[in-house]
Amino acid sequence: MNDKVTGCISIGATNTVNDVIKVLDEIPSRFYSLTDHFYQDGKLLGGDELKKLERRFMIEFSIQFSALFKEQGSYQKLEYEFEIPKRFMFADDCNISIRNTFEKLNTRFGREVDMLKYFTTEPDFLVHAGQSVMDEDGQKLIIEAKLNPNLNKSEIFKDIFHTFIYSNQYNFQCSIMLLIHINEKRWLKTFEEYLDQGYYQGELESSKKIFVIFKASPEGKATAYNLFELLSPPTCPKCHQKMVKRTARNGVNAGSIFWGCSSFPDCKDTKSLTAKEEQNENGFS
Ligand SMILES: [Zn+2]
């Protein structure tokens, strides 16, 4: 386990996640930096300029990735791809939950769906070439990078939505979202909100293949999360039933939230929230 990594990634594909973090350490800082070029009147330019930056970052990522791993032959070449989510959103036999989420996200702020724009968006993520031959755990990769610190909620929702599509509908063994300048607390909170809205998330099992990695610079610490772990409650250490969030009614901790065994009152075991869960409960400002 890379000691520069915190967060929760104990489930599956951790070697792949660590390999991706090794690549992130190799990318020179100029690819991370939001230089003056991306600002106007002290305000960060959004849209196309940021897209260019994300693409530049991913090209460098693929170069460093090949340099690190081509010798050992454990990964195939990474290529750009941009048709995957569309295939599932516009297919006649489209999953109803995908269709509903797509429509809700596109009308969320009263905007019409711009189909043409959706179809002509340039790729900003990488997938393995020759995917059909990749059968080892976590070796069939899809990687996407987000560098815009001002990503709005609807953009974050769309990223999460697409990521769920990759792992559920396209059978990627490992889907990784690189969140380079994105505020971790804010993103995690937005993820919870995405779930609360009942948007598409596919099978819980598929979320074992999805990871998000936060990192702001080559020297900076990486934080990685497995989505399955974010989605699933812990198991009671005593009787192995699922645990549920409860609020303390009495005592010095009254009002605070903790994990309690779902078979209460038969089992009275409790567990405190992790620091991360605590942060999520308290929200962000
Ligand atoms: Zn229990």
| Per-residue pLDDT reduced to its tens digit, 104-122 | 887 765 555 555 555 545 5
For 4, residues 6+ apart whose C-beta sits below 8 A from its C-beta are 21, 25, 221, 222
pLDDT at 173 over 90: no
Q: What is the pLDDT of residues 18-55, one digit of tens each?
A: 889 999 999 998 888 876 666 667 676 666 777 778 88
CA of 242 to the centre of ligand 1 (A): 8
Alpha-carbon gap, residue 208 to 223, rounded angstroms? 17
List, edge to edge, every strand of the sheet that includes 78-80. Answer: 5-8, 222-226, 210-214, 174-179, 141-146, 125-128, 78-80
d(C-alpha 171, C-alpha 141), whole Å: 10
Report the separation in Å between the CA atom of 245 and the middle of ligand 1, taken as the mean of its atom positions: 13
Which has more confidence, 214 or 94? Answer: 214
Nearest-10 crossing angle of helices 184-196, 275-282: 70
269 CA from centroid of ligand 1 (Å): 5
E strand residue ranges, the chain: 5-8, 39-40, 43-44, 78-80, 125-128, 141-146, 174-179, 210-214, 222-226, 243-247, 257-261, 270-272
Assign 9 a pLDDT band (cuts: 50, 70, 90): very low
Gap from CA of 258 to ligand 1 centroid (Å): 14
Instruction: Say how far apart CA 247 and CA 237 lie, in whole Å.
Output: 19
Say if residues 85 and 166 touch (Cβ distance below 8 Å).
yes
Question: Mutual orientation of helices 153-169 and 96-107 as an angle, nearest 10°?
Answer: 170
Between 117 and 216, the more confident residue is 216
Distance 232 CA to ligand 1 centre (A): 16
Delimit the domains of the chain by residue range. Answer: 5-231, 243-282
CA-nearest of 227, 231, 278, 241 to 257 is 278
Q: How far is the CA of 20 from the centre of ligand 1 (A)?
A: 37
The amino acid present at 122, given as its one-letter code, is E
Examine the pLDDT at 139 and tell me if it is beyond 60.
Answer: no
Q: 197 vs 46, which has greater pLDDT? A: 197
Could you tell me the distance, in angstroms and rounded to a whole number, from the CA of residue 246 to the centre of ligand 1? Answer: 14
